[in-house]
Amino acid sequence: MTRPAPDKVKRVASIGAGPIGAGWAAHFLARGYDVTAYLHSMDEEPAFRRILDTGWISLTALGLVPGASRDRLTLTDDLTAAMSDAEFVQESAPERLPLKQALYETLGRIVPPEVVIASSTSGLTMTEIQQKCPSPERTVVGHPFNPPYLLPLVEIVGGARTAPAAVQWAHDFYAAAGKAPLVMKKEIPGFVATRLQEALWREALHMVANGEATPGDIDTALINGPGPRLAVQGQCMAFHVACGEGGMATNLDQFGPALKLPWTRLEAPELTQELRDRMVDGCNIEAAGRHFEDLAAERDRAIVGILQAVAAAKTKD
Amino acid sequence: MTRPAPDKVKRVASIGAGPIGAGWAAHFLARGYDVTAYLHSMDEEPAFRRILDTGWISLTALGLVPGASRDRLTLTDDLTAAMSDAEFVQESAPERLPLKQALYETLGRIVPPEVVIASSTSGLTMTEIQQKCPSPERTVVGHPFNPPYLLPLVEIVGGARTAPAAVQWAHDFYAAAGKAPLVMKKEIPGFVATRLQEALWREALHMVANGEATPGDIDTALINGPGPRLAVQGQCMAFHVACGEGGMATNLDQFGPALKLPWTRLEAPELTQELRDRMVDGCNIEAAGRHFEDLAAERDRAIVGILQAVAAAKTKD
């Protein structure tokens, strides 16, 4: 058998009954797939269904694909049966390395060899997870962001024994499944989003430890400051657009010295010419020729909508 | 004369013609104040008006206060005249310490002594700025987030010679003016929001410097992962809610060891019992007795609206 085309997949298997496993199942069902969910024990069914039903409210609001239905879900505690006709496997088992290694040893045998298996792991690497897997070339990390039925990001990276074709296939499959896939160049701890979030989180802990801010202060600052903007513009584009005609080049040339200031406990890298150019070139690629005023107008329209959406969500309580 | 009640202020002066000064003027006009804007030179008027008009589009969409009008703006390059009848002064002059110190030396003389003067500075402290000011007790930092006509956050902190009453008044005034004021406990570089953003930014620069991610990767990760959630839940509440019944206590007890992992270049503080308790207590205060499922449902409703708002803003292009 050959691997199905990424946009022709019809049957997906999801392993795990927690918020991630059940969240993935909800997402795939909403996108019109047949989903078989493997639970370690059928006792987990009520919790699984509660997450599914919660997710379904949001997924319905965002718009289900024609034909999508919760009736197309099969629940089982028989792993072999769950894997038998899957064309893609999303694994969200507990984050313990020995458990995952043993699981992949089994999956490597019972999942048809052309089928890509993606792990939702946030803290382990695929190089570690695939160590005992007899068919590791089709195993990748496909790391979602919580809640996985709502946030589009999936970070994809292979392990040492993963075939590049499997990484590419996973990218194309997630894109077809309505996700925002991001292929990582290197297998680094925390991937991209969690690393950025973790830097922010550690700085927050420092501030609380030093009595500089309370958790409430930190959340007030985030929700009313960077948060609404980060939903529409990443930090690179935010600075690029804020600096007008000069863009990221102006930002780095003008505020570069600020990188030496103790504005956080995180030491900045040396602002070499090479780093400067990578930042500037990267922002120009992202801007794709659009004028900064055009990008700023889009940002503003989005923030207006974001603020209204947050206010509306709060009034409904 | 006595200081006006924070919610009775009618006339505001704004110093500066850049995106921050003009953005503040736009915000105050939209909230129904009479605004006198001081420009260093009337040559700056066209740029000032362009920012004002851009901001007005968003402010109108968010809803103007009855009676709010751009006709209630007075532009002048006469500093003394601009300050003569102001009941509050928002200063957004260039970020150069000698310039600001000289400006506050003048403002300290010409602004009626009961009037609070707030600086938009992001990189200087009020202790430095107020050094030559003859009436420093009413000078505070009132730091907005860009764009100031849209993002609600204002970080407020006094300098060494600021009276606590001025800080409290500024807090109450900004709240009455439709902002989300955050009073800082200590005068630390970068305040709260910029410190958090800077930690994230430096980690991003490290990743680009090491070839681990491009600016486009970083922005893709932020926009599709933490961004939409940070518009409705700060990082503390996001973790509190994600951990279900156990909340922040579960997060720290379970993932505490992850603080030792190299998930960012930022070293975490020691997770002492005291820090743990501050985080847990702070999150419980924020949650205000609400069940995590209630908070999660609100989060989900908001994220749905946020994703729709961002998509709608992009289709309009």
Residues B236 and A219: beta-carbon distance below 8 Å? yes
The Cα angle at residue B179 between residues B173 and B183, in degrees rounded to 5: 70
Please, which residues 64-93 of chain B have a Cβ atom closer than 8 Å to chain A?
none
pLDDT of residue B176: 98
| Bridge partners, B307 (sequence order) | none
Q: Is A119 helix (H, G, I), strand (E, B) or coil?
A: strand
Interchain contact B211–A (C-beta under 8 A):
yes
Q: Is the per-residue pLDDT at A317 higher than 70?
A: no
Residue-wise pLDDT for A224-255, tens only, equals 999 999 999 999 999 998 888 888 998 888 87
Residues A51 and A177: beta-carbon distance below 8 Å? no
Contact B221 A153 (CB under 8 A): yes
Residue-wise pLDDT for B222-248, tens only, equals 999 999 999 999 999 999 988 888 889
Taken in order B272, B295, B284, B233, is the CA torsion positive or negative? Answer: positive
- Token pair recorded at residue A63: 């718009």
Using a CB-CB cut-off of 8 Å, the residues of chain A touching B202 are 199, 259, 264, 266-269
What's the CA gap between A267 and A260, in Å, rounded? 8
Is the previous residue joined to A147 through a cis bond, with omega within 30 degrees of 0?
A: yes
Q: Nearest-CA neighbor of A154 among A110, A123, A193, A124?
A: A193
Give residue A80's pLDDT band: very low, low, confident or very high (50, 70, 90): very high
Using a CB-CB cut-off of 8 Å, the residues of chain B touching A219 are 233-237, 286
Residues A248 and A240: beta-carbon distance below 8 Å? yes
pLDDT of residue A262: 82
Using a CB-CB cut-off of 8 Å, the residues of chain B touching A145 are 224-226, 229
Q: Is the per-residue pLDDT at A1 higher than 70?
A: no
Average pLDDT over residues A33-53: 96
Percentage of the residues of chain B whose pLDDT score is greater than 70: 99
Q: Is the per-residue pLDDT at B317 higher than 60?
A: no
Average pLDDT over residues B188-196: 92
Q: Is the per-residue pLDDT at B311 higher than 70?
A: yes
Contact B304 A58 (CB under 8 A): yes
- Which of B193, B275, B312 has its CB closest to that of A222? B193
Considering only the C-alpha atoms of chain B, give the largest distance between any 2 of them, rounded to a whole number of Å: 61
DSSP codes, B37-55: EE-SSGGGHHHHHHHHHHH
Contact A308 B305 (CB under 8 A): yes
Query: Nearest C-alpha of chain B: how many angstroms from A147?
Result: 8
Contact A298 B304 (CB under 8 A): no
Using a CB-CB cut-off of 8 Å, the residues of chain A touching B218 are 192, 196, 234-236
Q: Where are the alpha helices (DSSP H) in chain A?
A: 19-30, 45-62, 79-83, 97-110, 126-129, 164-176, 193-209, 215-224, 226-230, 235-242, 247-255, 273-287, 292-315
Using a CB-CB cut-off of 8 Å, the residues of chain B touching A261 are 123, 189-190
Contact B305 A316 (CB under 8 A): no
Helix, strand, coil percent values for chain A (each to nearest 5):
55, 10, 30
What's the CA gap between A199 and B15, in Å, rounded? 35
Average pLDDT over residues A290-309: 90
Residues B18 and B92: beta-carbon distance below 8 Å? yes
Stretch among B15-24, B30-39, B184-193 having the lowest mean pLDDT = B184-193
Average pLDDT over residues B246-268: 85
- Which of B62, B216, B221 has its CB closest to that of A196? B221
Stretch among A116-130, B94-108, B245-259 having the lowest mean pLDDT = B245-259
Average pLDDT over residues B152-164: 97
Interchain contact B283–A (C-beta under 8 A):
yes
Domains and CATH numbers, chain B: 6-183 (3.40.50.720), 225-315 (no CATH)
Please tell me which residue of chain A has the smallest CA distance to B230.
A227
ipTM: 0.94
Using a CB-CB cut-off of 8 Å, the residues of chain A touching B205 are 259, 268-269, 271, 275, 279
Q: Nearest-CA neighbor of B42 among B93, B84, B83, B76?
A: B76
Interchain contact B187–A (C-beta under 8 A):
no
Q: Nearest-CA neighbor of B220 among B233, B232, B207?
A: B207
Percentage of the residues of chain A whose pLDDT score is greater than 90: 81
What's the CA gap between A272 and A294, in Å, rounded? 30
Average pLDDT across chain A, whole number: 93
What pTM, to 2 d.p., does this model score? 0.93
A11-15 and A34-38 as β-strands: parallel, antiparallel, unpaired? parallel
Characterise A2 by phi-psi region: left (phi > 0), alpha (psi -120 to 50), beta (else).
beta
Amino acid code (one letter) for B160: A
How many other CB atoms sit within 10 Å of the CB of residue B84? 14
Residue-wise pLDDT for A249-291, tens only, equals 988 888 778 888 888 888 888 889 999 999 999 999 989 998 9
Using a CB-CB cut-off of 8 Å, the residues of chain A touching B286 are 215-216, 219
What's the CA gap between A187 and A120, in Å, rounded? 14
Average pLDDT over residues B3-19: 96
Please, which residues 4-23 of chain B have a Cβ atom closer than 8 Å to chain A?
19
For tokens 């903007």, the residue is A229
pLDDT of residue B165: 97
Instruction: Please measure the distance between the N-terminal and C-terminal CA atoms of chain B and give it in whole angstroms.
Output: 52
